[in-house]
């Protein structure tokens, strides 16, 4: 039965965004990874094809305002994809041209799009492919209306129209991810990892802890360096000191008194406490570095697991929505047949009941997706409330040797090295306390000058001199305070060593569990793949029976729904396998960290 134009438009409106989303999800280029927007890619492609063109030509072709074009071209220039110059015929006219880097980006994009489309239509017969391409050309010719534009001596017609259509369809696909949103930013897993690592408060605080450790090292090192001090005093007296001598009043001293000194002191010995404190500070710095690395790897693992969870839940909502749509069509057909007397009322009511039973699972799937998307947005520190994830649930077999994995975990895990540094820190604390039993020896010297106090108040000049000394200080008894502190430090050291041994056992168990989970997930992928194959074969049989009139439409619908649910189960297995891979990588200390900067 031929579709009406309205039904055809509705079908295309639902399928086209899904097809384009599928294309983007399977590609790894500047557009799918969010490094270039659709308008930027379209303008870059148009300029590269034209050779060079003015801002006015771009604005006319894409129906954009000149300030918008200028801003977009500015960003492409900063990326190194376009360059500005002057037209040969008019040096006052500014034109844009593609750089070699921009042409490489376009070549990669078009080559990858060609391969993706070829994979998508690989199972379609040549006659069907020909009809599809012919239909697309007819549609493009009907909506492609582009004026002839003379841009710096180059005349183009038609090329930008196709790009504008493609840009509109790609924007349509992106907006379809979040209904009602006009601008949806797309993020690949790499982009999410970079955003999360750059903006995570925990990572930033770990960096501050590392900087604090460096400051503590500086403070401790200062204790073994010479200490140099300069000092100056001024004293004004209200009157001079005087005494009677032979009936005559004698005054001595000065009303204005000055003195200055430059002193230096150096710690020679304190029982090794300073050296131990310096080692402790360095151990603390190494510990903070390991802690920062651990926090980063934990965040990468959590973002990776949450990313694939959102992808799976999006697929679950699509499958459930398709099931509801299919049952709604069946219910409408059943009611239509009932009104015509071609079926019993029981069949119509049964169809409505089946449809109603599928609505709560759909609502639950949407609610779960909404919660997961909100949690992921917070975890990856995304600014946009409406966003789309570019990725796919794919299976890559991973062969794991549990013994080698356990050895990797015990050798590479940052937690273990972090605890080892904690043990070193506690050992240094004990040495610092033991140093308190020894004397402290310090040498000091100074050079002093002052205006002289003499009986001749008019005498001029300063008196200068130097002095040096050695100070020995030994705390012989402090009420057993030092013994109590030493006992406290020794207990803290014993605790740290016990925690280290316990952490070794915990990591070994964690690696073993991760290996088992990965193996279980791999088996689930294989079994669910076989289930999908059986369900698809069953669907072929059901379709043949339905076409031959040997079964009802309800039976065919049930079989089709079984295929969708089998594929959903397979997607769940893929999600579990990807999550298990991320957890095993973390458990063995092999987490792959993303590059913090990525060129377009």
Does residue 506 surpass a pLDDT of 90? Answer: yes
Could you write out the three-class secondary structure of 348-409? HHHHHHHHHHHHHHHHHHHHHHHHHHHHHHHHCCCCCCCEEEECCCCCCCCCCCHHHHHHHH
Cα separation, 96 vs 58, whole angstroms: 10
Its domain, for residue 150, covers 5-181
**Helix, strand, coil share (%) of the chain residues, nearest 5:** 65, 15, 20
Task: Write the pLDDT tens digit of every residue in 34-88.
Answer: 677 778 888 888 888 888 888 888 887 777 888 888 888 888 888 888 988 876 6
Strand locations in 506-597, DSSP E? none
Number of domains in the chain: 2
Q: 23 and 165 share a domain?
A: yes
Are both 25 and 128 inside the same structural domain?
yes
The pLDDT value recorded for residue 182 is 44
Q: How far apart are CA 469 and CA 588, in angstroms?
A: 59
Low-confidence winner among 429-443, 445-459, 584-598 (lowest mean pLDDT):
445-459
Q: What is the pLDDT of residue 2?
A: 60
The answer to whether position 64 is within a domain reads yes
Has residue 444 been placed in a domain? yes
Does position 145 have pLDDT exceeding 70, yes or no?
no
Contact 315, 264 (CB under 8 A): no
Q: Region 92-112: what's the mean pLDDT?
A: 84
Q: Rounded to whole angstroms, what are the CA distances from 84 to 54, 98, 230?
A: 10, 9, 62
Give the pLDDT score at 263: 92
Half-sphere exposure of 398 (CA within 13 A, CB side): 26
User: Is residue 161 in a domain?
Assistant: yes
Mean pLDDT, to the nearest integer, of 10-34?
A: 68
* Other beta carbons less than 10 A from residue 144's beta carbon: 16
Mark whether 170 and 35 lie in a shared domain.
Answer: yes
Q: Is residue 454 included in any domain, yes or no?
A: yes
Domain-located, residue 299:
no
- Domain C-terminal end among 449, 473, 497: 473
Asked if residue 131 belongs to a domain, the reply is yes
Hey, which residues does 155 pair with through a beta bridge?
150
Residues 38 and 125 in one domain: yes
Mean pLDDT along residues 463-473: 88
Mean pLDDT in residue range 140-157: 47
Q: Which residue has the higher pLDDT, 241 or 488?
A: 488
Residues 154 and 256 in one domain: no
The average pLDDT across 134-163 equals 53
Question: What is the pLDDT at residue 31?
Answer: 63
Per-residue model confidence (pLDDT) at position 308: 94
Q: CATH number of the domain that 134 lies in?
A: 1.10.10.10
- Banded model confidence at residue 457, pLDDT cuts 50, 70, 90: very low
Report the share of the chain in percent with pLDDT over 70.
86
Total-model pTM: 0.62
Q: Which of 473, 491, 522 represents a domain boundary (last residue)?
A: 473
Residue 313: other Cβ atoms inside 10 A: 22
Residues 142 and 253 in one domain: no
| 574 in a structural domain | no
**Is the per-residue pLDDT at 303 higher than 60?**
yes
Contacts of 431-434 spanning 24+ positions with Cβ under 8 A: 431/272, 431/273, 431/276, 431/279, 432/273, 432/276, 432/277, 432/280, 432/489, 433/482, 433/485, 433/486, 433/489, 434/271, 434/272, 434/486
Positive/negative CA dihedral, 449, 451, 455, 460: positive
Residues 134 and 231 in one domain: no
Q: Which of 127, 161, 181 is the last residue of a domain?
A: 181
Q: How many CA atoms lie within 13 A of 323 on its CB side?
A: 28
pLDDT in tens, 351-392: 788 888 888 988 999 999 999 999 999 999 988 778 888 888
Residue 399 has pLDDT above 90, yes or no: no
Number of H helices, E strands in the chain: 15, 13
Q: What is the pLDDT of residue 171?
A: 46
- Kindly state whether residues 154 and 244 are assigned to the same domain: no
* C-alpha span between 494 and 82 (Å, rounded): 64
Residues 525-535 pLDDT 10s: 999 889 988 98
More confident residue, 265 or 15: 265
Between 281 and 240, name the one with better pLDDT.
Answer: 281
Same domain, 241 and 146: no
Average pLDDT of the segment spanning 488-505: 93
pLDDT digits (tens, 9 = 90+) for 286-300: 889 999 999 999 999
Do 158 and 234 fall within a single domain?
no
DSSP line for 127-188: HHHHHHHHHHHHHHHHH-----EEETTEEE-SHHHHHHHHHHHHHHHHHHHSTT-S--EEEE
Mean pLDDT across 550-576: 83
Give pLDDT tens digits for 322-357.
888 878 887 888 788 888 887 788 878 887 888 888
Q: What is the pLDDT of residue 436?
A: 84
Which of 422, 383, 457, 468 has its CA nearest to residue 184?
383
The CA distances from residue 322 to 447, 459, 532, 561, 571, in Å, are 92, 108, 17, 9, 16
Q: pLDDT value at position 304?
A: 94
Domain assignment present for 538: no
Q: Which two tokens stand for residue 436?
A: 């308190």
Whether the CB-CB separation of 242 and 455 falls below 8 Å is answered with no
Both 237 and 155 in a single domain?
A: no
- The Cα–Cα gap between 321 and 19 comes to 16
Residue 119 sits in the same domain as residue 26? yes
Summary mean pLDDT of the chain? 81
Is it the case that residue 135 has pLDDT exceeding 50? yes
pLDDT at 456 over 50: no
Residue 110 CA to residue 45 CA, distance in Å, equals 10
């Amino acid at each position: 039965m031929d579709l009406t134009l309205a039904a055809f438009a509705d079908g295309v409106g639902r399928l086209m965004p899904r097809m384009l989303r599928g294309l983007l999800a399977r590609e790894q280029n500047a557009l799918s990874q969010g490094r270039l927007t659709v308008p930027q890619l379209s303008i870059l492609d148009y300029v590269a094809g034209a050779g060079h063109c003015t801002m006015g030509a771009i604005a006319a072709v894409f129906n954009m305002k000149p300030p918008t074009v200028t801003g977009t071209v500015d960003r492409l220039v900063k990326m190194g994809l376009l360059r500005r110059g002057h037209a040969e015929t008019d040096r006052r006219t500014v034109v844009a041209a593609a750089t070699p880097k921009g042409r490489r980006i376009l070549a990669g994009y078009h080559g990858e799009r060609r391969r993706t489309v070829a994979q998508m239509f690989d199972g379609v017969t040549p006659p069907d492919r020909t009809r599809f391409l012919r239909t697309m050309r007819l549609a493009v010719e009907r909506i492609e209306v582009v004026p002839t534009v003379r841009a710096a001596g180059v005349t183009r017609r038609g090329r930008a129209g196709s790009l504008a259509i493609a840009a509109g369809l790609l924007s349509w696909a992106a907006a379809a991810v979040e209904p009602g949103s006009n601008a949806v930013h797309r993020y690949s897993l790499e982009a999410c990892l970079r955003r999360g690592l750059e903006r995570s408060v925990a990572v930033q605080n770990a960096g501050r802890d590392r900087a604090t450790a460096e400051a503590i090292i500086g403070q401790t090192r200062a204790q073994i360096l010479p200490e140099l001090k300069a000092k100056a005093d001024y004293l004004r007296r209200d009157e001079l000191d005087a005494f009677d001598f032979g009936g005559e009043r004698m005054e001595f001293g000065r009303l204005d008194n000055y003195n200055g000194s430059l002193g230096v002191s150096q710690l020679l010995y304190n029982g090794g406490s300073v050296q131990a404190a310096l080692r402790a500070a360095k151990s603390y710095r190494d510990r903070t570095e390991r802690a920062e690395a651990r926090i980063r790897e934990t965040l990468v693992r959590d973002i990776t697991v949450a990313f694939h969870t959102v992808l799976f839940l999006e697929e679950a909502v699509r499958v459930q929505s398709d099931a509801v749509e299919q049952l709604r069509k069946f219910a409408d057909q059943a009611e239509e047949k009932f009104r015509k007397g071609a079926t019993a009322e029981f069949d119509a009511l049964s169809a409505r009941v089946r449809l109603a039973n599928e609505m709560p699972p759909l609502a639950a799937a949407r609610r779960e997706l909404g919660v997961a998307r909100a949690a992921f947005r917070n975890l990856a520190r995304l600014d946009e409330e409406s966003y789309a994830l570019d990725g796919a649930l794919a299976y890559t077999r991973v062969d794991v040797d549990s013994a080698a994995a356990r050895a990797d975990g015990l050798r590479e895990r940052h937690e273990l090295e972090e605890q080892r540094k904690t043990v070193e820190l506690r050992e240094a604390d004990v040495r610092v306390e033991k140093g308190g039993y020894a004397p402290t020896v310090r040498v000091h010297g100074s050079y002093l000058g002052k205006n002289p106090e003499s009986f001749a108040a008019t005498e001029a000049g300063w008196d200068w001199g130097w002095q040096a000394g050695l100070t020995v200080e030994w705390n012989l008894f402090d009420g057993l305070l030092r013994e109590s502190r030493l006992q406290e430090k020794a207990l803290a050291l014993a605790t740290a060593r016990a925690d280290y041994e316990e952490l070794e056992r915990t990591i070994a168990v964690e690696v073993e569990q991760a290996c088992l989970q990965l193996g279980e997930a791999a088996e689930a992928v294989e079994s669910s793949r076989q289930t999908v194959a059986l369900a698809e074969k069953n669907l072929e049989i059901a379709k043949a029976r339905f076409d031959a009139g040997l079964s009802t439409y309800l039976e065919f619908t049930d079989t089709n729904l079984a295929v969708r649910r089998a594929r959903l189960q397979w997607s769940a297995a893929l999600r579990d396998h990807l999550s298990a891979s991320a957890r095993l990588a973390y458990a063995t200390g092999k987490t792959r960290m993303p590059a913090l900067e990525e060129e377009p």
